[in-house]
Amino acid sequence: MKEEFKKRIDEKIKEIEKYLEELYQHFTSSYEEYTNDSFTKAACERYFEKIIVAIIDLAFLFSRYKELESPKEEEQIFLVLENKKIINSELSKRLKEAKGMRNFIVHEYGEIDDELVFNSIAEELSLPVGSLTTISGSAHIYERNWKLAQDLLTKYPPVVERLNDPRGNIVIYLQEGLIMIEHQSPEGKVVEMMHGKTAAELYVELAKKQKVSDIYHAFYIGKELDRAELALKKGLTYSQERELNFSESIKNDNKDTTLSENRNNKEKKGSKDNKEKKGIDSLKKKNKKK
């Protein structure tokens, strides 16, 4: 009989592990995605319910295996295991709360609180609640979004893990028609200066000299060099990690068009003046002959 209970306990544990894995695969740490995707929400609620039912079954199986008292109410089984020091008081409390959440979902006592269910699942899976995870060599926020970013940071204080490239930082700027690169040590000291007219030639130079060791840093530098080259070609102001202002390009094009029109007008006027002068000189010569 004992062996039969042990076998059933092992099977129940594997069943719970399977449900947890499936719940983990369906769950998203974005509350917005969770609430907007009815399939994800339904799947998560269903797996959460199945996990709690399986845990209750496991608790009763273990209780019978240990020949403990069998309570009349399901919720009391966790208290029985707690009193026998099989589980601690914290786990007993969490399991009772999870059981209550399961009843709430199954019987739908009024409208289901999506946020409450979402947070409960996230907590049980030990997943952080949030809508964005960034792995980046650098992160920046455009000026138009500063106010929104400030509000979000106030409401949700960030947890940031910054990975610094041990070979230092790369500062990029434009000067006298060239893309300038300033390689700085991790302490901020300038190690070497490089320059070129295209992003491609500077990629190669940085790679040859092994100035970057972190892959995310390399992606970031590649993106910034492309932006710097575009700014150089379009005559735009370039500032590292700042959005390019393409309205400058339109202004420059208009300026070039105006200059070209003025030059053409001057050439036409000059040609007209020359013709008029030649006509006057021709009349003068004819008058002298007379």
* pLDDT one-digit tens code per residue, 73-104: 777 888 888 888 888 888 888 777 777 766 66
Q: In this structure, is residue 143 part of a structural domain?
A: no
Q: What is the pLDDT of residues 10-36, one digit of tens each?
A: 898 898 888 888 887 777 767 777 777
User: What is residue 224's predicted lDDT score, i.e. its pLDDT?
Assistant: 93
Q: In this structure, is residue 131 part of a structural domain?
A: no
Q: In this structure, is residue 75 part of a structural domain?
A: yes
Among 42-51, 124-133, 204-213, the range of highest mean pLDDT: 204-213
| Mean pLDDT value across residues 220-233 | 92
**Is residue 119 predicted with pLDDT exceeding 80?**
no
**Residue of higher predicted confidence among 106 and 182:** 182
**pLDDT confidence tier of residue 107, bands split at 50, 70 and 90:** low
**Is residue 188 predicted with pLDDT exceeding 50?**
yes
List the beta bridge partners of residue 183: 170, 192
**Is residue 109 predicted with pLDDT exceeding 50?**
no
**Residue of higher predicted confidence among 117 and 43:** 43
Q: In this structure, is residue 286 part of a structural domain?
A: no
Extract the tokens encoding 25. Answer: 């695969």
Verify that 104 and 180 share a domain, yes or no: no
User: What is residue 225's predicted lDDT score, i.e. its pLDDT?
Assistant: 94
Q: In this structure, is residue 147 part of a structural domain?
A: no
Q: In this structure, is residue 155 part of a structural domain?
A: no
Extract the tokens encoding 48. Answer: 């959460």
How far is Cα 49 from Cα 43, in angstroms, rounded to an integer? 10
Closest CA to 245 of 142, 138, 139: 142
Domain range spanning residue 218?
Answer: 169-234
List the beta bridge partners of residue 170: 183
Q: Are 32 and 95 in contact (CB under 8 A)?
A: no
Q: Are 134 and 220 in contact (CB under 8 A)?
A: no
Verify that 17 and 74 share a domain, yes or no: yes
Whole-model pTM: value is 0.39
Verify that 91 and 10 share a domain, yes or no: yes
Supply the mean pLDDT for the chain.
76
Alpha helices of the chain — where are they, by DSSP H?
2-26, 31-36, 38-65, 76-83, 89-107, 114-124, 146-155, 199-208, 215-234, 247-289
Verify that 41 and 98 share a domain, yes or no: yes
Verify that 78 and 188 share a domain, yes or no: no
Type and span of the H or E element at 75: none
**Residue of higher predicted confidence among 124 and 184:** 184
Verify that 107 and 181 share a domain, yes or no: no
Question: Rounded to the nearest 5 degrees, what angle is found at the Cα of 98, between the Cα atoms of 53 and 82?
Answer: 90
How many domains does the chain fold into? 2
Q: What is the pLDDT of residues 240-283, one digit of tens each?
A: 888 888 887 655 555 555 555 656 665 555 555 555 555 555 55
Q: In this structure, is residue 119 part of a structural domain?
A: yes
